[in-house]
Chains A and B, each alone.
Chain A
Amino acid sequence: MGRIESDELRDVPGTGPSASEDREARARRRHYARPAVDIYSTESEMIVLADMPGVRKGDLEITLERDELTIEGKIAGRGEAESALPRGYHRRFRLRTAFDRERIRASLEEGILRVTLPKAATEQPRKIAVD
């Protein structure tokens, strides 16, 4: 379980109150799990991989609100009965880096979500030519 504190992003508590969240959303997530993630950062982008088995594309929601990235996915067909398996996944991150919002991409394959966040030009290292 590697975890390196970085200035690029922080975990946001999953069940704590959030500005834009209603009670209903929190109740729903009571049966959600926090997905395991791998996160890598290069000069030009950040890559987030999250294990979200059982989630289908249509039930996936990725939002970037201000500096808060939320990934949430519901698992169709799970519910009602008590289960050892979650009914969905939810996790939030606070981003400390500026990203190019228009170019954020996400894909879901075999239960793994991959979000690629290109860094804003201002965040990327730049060589200054000397005249």
Chain B
Amino acid sequence: MNESGSGESGRGALAELKEAVTSLFEQVVGLAPDLGFGREFPRHELRVEDDGFRVQVELPGIRRDEIDVSVSGRTLSISFRRERFEPPEGARMLRSERPSGKYELTLRLPAEADPLAVVARMQDGVLEVRLPKPSVRGRSVRVEGTEAEAQEPAAEEKPAAEEKPAAEEKPAAEERPPQQMPWEEGPQTPTGEGEGGGTQRG
């Protein structure tokens, strides 16, 4: 075992422990436990980026016309269907792990996105959905001085009305809105619609 001087040693030890646990598990059970990545399907990730959200979903074998992506308020829904592989006649099944059936993935966005600007793209079995921030904010930040650039903000195009707009009503001319933006720290008020914040009592 050689020592690598940097601060990596702690992580290395952890990784080694994980490997040891993994191989022990394999010896006992006969299969790797997938410590890092589970069998969750579809595996997905939501990332917050400077200009909005980026959602990636692993959808191997699904054609893009078989995927339905919709955005409503702060809810992103992705539904699709995955067919079973049709084996040749008389074939013996040795493993069958690949999920199939009808699925709907519903994600709660940390803040509202501009539903008109959502772009979805499928490549190599990975769906990528880009959800830009509402354009209002982009304008408000971008004010630099010249008259020509200062166009009227097109703020009335927001169809999602259930969420209370934190700063959208403001004229977009301010350098920095005094109120907290939903992008910074989402206001915690549940608006009833989402399935996450269900209250038990009426």
Q: Does A110 have its Cβ within 8 Å of any Cβ on chain B?
A: yes
> Which residues of the other chain, B, contact A105 by a CB distance below 8 angstroms?
none
Could you list which residues of chain B lie within 8 angstroms of chain A, going by C-beta atoms?
A: 15, 18-19, 22-23, 26-27, 30-32, 34, 36-37, 39, 41, 43-45, 56, 58-63, 85, 87-88, 90-99, 124-126
Could you list which residues of chain A lie within 8 angstroms of chain B, going by C-beta atoms?
A: 1-4, 6, 8-9, 11, 13-16, 26-27, 30-31, 33-34, 36-43, 46-47, 49, 51-56, 83-86, 109-112
> Which residues of the other chain, A, contact B62 by a CB distance below 8 angstroms?
110
Contact at A42–B94, with CB atoms within 8 Å? no
- How close is B123's CB to chain A, nearest CB, in angstroms? 8
Cβ contacts A to B, 16 pairs, < 8 Å: A2-B96, A4-B95, A11-B32, A13-B26, A30-B15, A31-B36, A34-B37, A37-B97, A38-B96, A38-B98, A40-B91, A52-B60, A53-B58, A85-B58, A86-B36, A112-B60
> Which residues of the other chain, A, contact B19 by a CB distance below 8 angstroms?
15-16, 26
Contact at A53–B96, with CB atoms within 8 Å? no
> Which residues of the other chain, A, contact B99 by a CB distance below 8 angstroms?
36
Q: Which residue of B lies closest to A54 (CB)?
A: B126
CA distance A9 to B92 in the complex (A): 13
Contact at B37–A38, with CB atoms within 8 Å? no
Q: Which residue of A lies closest to B128 (CB)?
A: A54
- How close is B90's CB to chain A, nearest CB, in angstroms? 6
Contact at B44–A51, with CB atoms within 8 Å? no
Contact at B126–A53, with CB atoms within 8 Å? yes
Contact at A33–B37, with CB atoms within 8 Å? yes
Contact at A85–B60, with CB atoms within 8 Å? no
Interface of B is mostly: loop
Contact at A56–B124, with CB atoms within 8 Å? yes
Give the top 5 A-B pairs by smallest Cβ distance, nearest first: A111-B125, A53-B125, A2-B96, A111-B60, A13-B26
Contact at B94–A39, with CB atoms within 8 Å? yes
Q: Which residue of A lies closest to B11 (CB)?
A: A30
- How close is B141's CB to chain A, nearest CB, in angstroms? 25
> Which residues of the other chain, B, contact A55 by a CB distance below 8 angstroms?
124
Q: Which residue of A lies closest to B92 (CB)?
A: A41
Contact at A47–B91, with CB atoms within 8 Å? yes
Contact at B85–A54, with CB atoms within 8 Å? no
Contact at B36–A49, with CB atoms within 8 Å? no
- How close is B57's CB to chain A, nearest CB, in angstroms? 9
> Which residues of the other chain, A, contact B92 by a CB distance below 8 angstroms?
6, 40-42
